[in-house]
Amino acid sequence: MTSATFETLLFDTNDDGIATITINRPDKLNALNSKVLSELSEAIKTAESDRDVKAVILTGSGEKAFVAGADIKELSSLNREQGEELAARGQSIFSAIENCGKPVIAVVNGYALGGGAELAMACHVRIATSNALFGLPEVSLGLIPGYGGTQRLPQLVGKSKAMEMILTGGQLKADEALRFGLVNLVAESGEAMDEAHKMAGKMVKNGPVAISKAIAAVNASSKTDGFAREAMLFGELCTTEDFKEGTTAFLEKRKPSFKGE
Ligand code: CO8
C-alpha cells in the first residue's frame, strides 16, 4: 500500500484501496503555495499509477479550512507572465485531478475560498461539512479566479449563480451549496470522512476500467476552451494597481482602496 511522504501533504492508503490526501498547512488555512501545488500534482500521479489505489479522498488539515485559496503572499509579487504561467500551471494540475481515472472525492471541511473552491470543483464529487463556506473572493483582491473557477462554477451552479458569486465575491454556506448543486452531500464535521469512505466504497466495487471511462465520458460533456482565456486575463490583472492594492491590503490586514487602474 502506498504511504508516500510529502512536506505539505499527508498521504495514506487504507486496506480498501482508498487513498486520503490531506493538505497540511493548517496555520495558513492550507493555502496553496507552489510547494503544495507541486506535491499535489505528485500525489495525484502517485495515486493514479498505484494499482492498489482505487479512489482518492482530498481534504484539508484542521477544523477551520479545506483550503483558503492560493497563497496571497506568493501572488502579491507576480508580474503578467508569471501570473498567466502560474494560473496555467494550477489549471493543468487541477485538470489532472478532474481527469484522474479514479474517483476523487473532496471532503470540504471549512473554508473553500478562491483556489480552494476551485480545487474542490475539480474533484469529481464534493462532501461538505456543515460549517463549510464556499466563495471566489478574487475580485476583492483585484483579481479573478485563475484555477478554472470561471469555467467550472457555471457548469456546477449555472451561469446566473456563478456570475453572482464571482462578481460579489460572496460566500455560500454548506446548505446553500447543496441547494445549488455545488456539493453532493452535507455531513456533520465528525461524519464527513465516514460519508466519503462510504461513497468511495460503493464506487470501488465497480469495474475500474468502466469507472475511468465513465469519468472521461462525463468530463467530455463539459469541455470548454475558456481556461486559456481565464489564465490570460489573470496575467493581465497582475499588471494593475488594483491587484497590488488588493493583495497588499490583505497582507497588511486592512480594507483595500481600489482606484480602477
Ligand atoms: N493566502 C495566504 N495566507 C492566508 C490565506 C491565503 N489565501 N488565507 C489565510 N491565510 C493566513 C493568514 O494570513 C493568517 O496568517 P498569519 O497567522 O501569519 O497572519 C492565517 O492564514 C490565518 O488566517 P486569518 O488570521 O485571516 O484567519 P481568520 O479566521 O481571521 O479568517 C479567512 C479566515 C476569512 C479565510 C481569511 O483568512 C481570508 O480572508 N483569507 C483569504 C481568502 C482569500 O481571499 N482567498 C482567495 C485567494 S486568491 C486565490 O485563491 C486565487 C486563485 C487563482 C490563482 C491563479 C494563479 C496564480
Q: Is residue 17 part of a domain?
A: yes
Protein residue with least CA distance to atom 25, ligand 1: 28
- Residue 141 beta carbon below 6 angstroms from any ligand 1 atom: yes
How far are the Cα atoms of 20, 154, 163 from residue 55, in angstroms, in the given order?
Answer: 9, 26, 32
**Does the pLDDT of residue 2 top 60, yes or no?**
no
Protein residue with least CA distance to atom 40, ligand 1: 68
- In this prediction, residues 49-62 reach a mean pLDDT of 97
- The CATH number of whichever domain residue 156 belongs to comes to 3.90.226.10
**Does the pLDDT of residue 244 top 80, yes or no?**
yes
What's residue 153's pLDDT? Answer: 98
**Tens of pLDDT along 132-155?**
999 999 999 999 999 999 999 999
Q: What sign does the CA torsion over 99, 96, 152, 23 have?
A: positive
What's residue 212's pLDDT? Answer: 93
Q: Which domain holds residue 142?
A: 3-189
**Nearest alpha-carbon partner for 99 in 37, 152, 167, 164:** 152
What type of residue sits at position 129? T
- In this prediction, residues 230-243 reach a mean pLDDT of 94
Q: Is residue 254 part of a domain?
A: no
Q: Find the helix packing angle between 159-168 and 149-157, rounded to 10°.
A: 130
Q: Pull the grid cell for residue 188.
A: 456533520
* pLDDT > 70: percent of the chain: 99
- State the chain's mean pLDDT as an integer: 96
Q: Is residue 23 part of a domain?
A: yes
What's residue 1's pLDDT? Answer: 53
- Residue in 48, 84, 98, 118 annotated catalytic: 118
Sheet containing 171-173: order of strands: 65-67, 111-113, 133-135, 171-173
Sheet containing 185-187: order of strands: 9-13, 18-23, 55-60, 104-108, 125-129, 185-187
Q: Is residue 181 part of a domain?
A: yes
In three-state secondary structure terms, 186 is: strand
Q: Give the chain's domain count.
A: 1
In this prediction, residue 221 has a pLDDT band, given cuts at 50, 70 and 90, of confident
What's residue 224's pLDDT? Answer: 81
**Tens of pLDDT along 192-216?**
999 999 999 999 999 899 999 999 9
What's residue 3's pLDDT? Answer: 61
- In this prediction, residues 106-125 reach a mean pLDDT of 98
Q: Is residue 144 part of a domain?
A: yes
Q: Is residue 240 part of a domain?
A: no
Q: Is residue 158 part of a domain?
A: yes
- Residue 28 beta carbon below 6 angstroms from any ligand 1 atom: yes
**Does the pLDDT of residue 93 top 70, yes or no?**
yes
**Does the pLDDT of residue 260 top 90, yes or no?**
no
Q: Is the pTM of this model over 0.85?
A: yes
- Residue 39 beta carbon below 6 angstroms from any ligand 1 atom: no
What's residue 110's pLDDT? Answer: 98
Q: What count of other Cβ atoms lies within 10 Å of the Cβ of residue 1?
A: 11
Q: Is residue 183 part of a domain?
A: yes
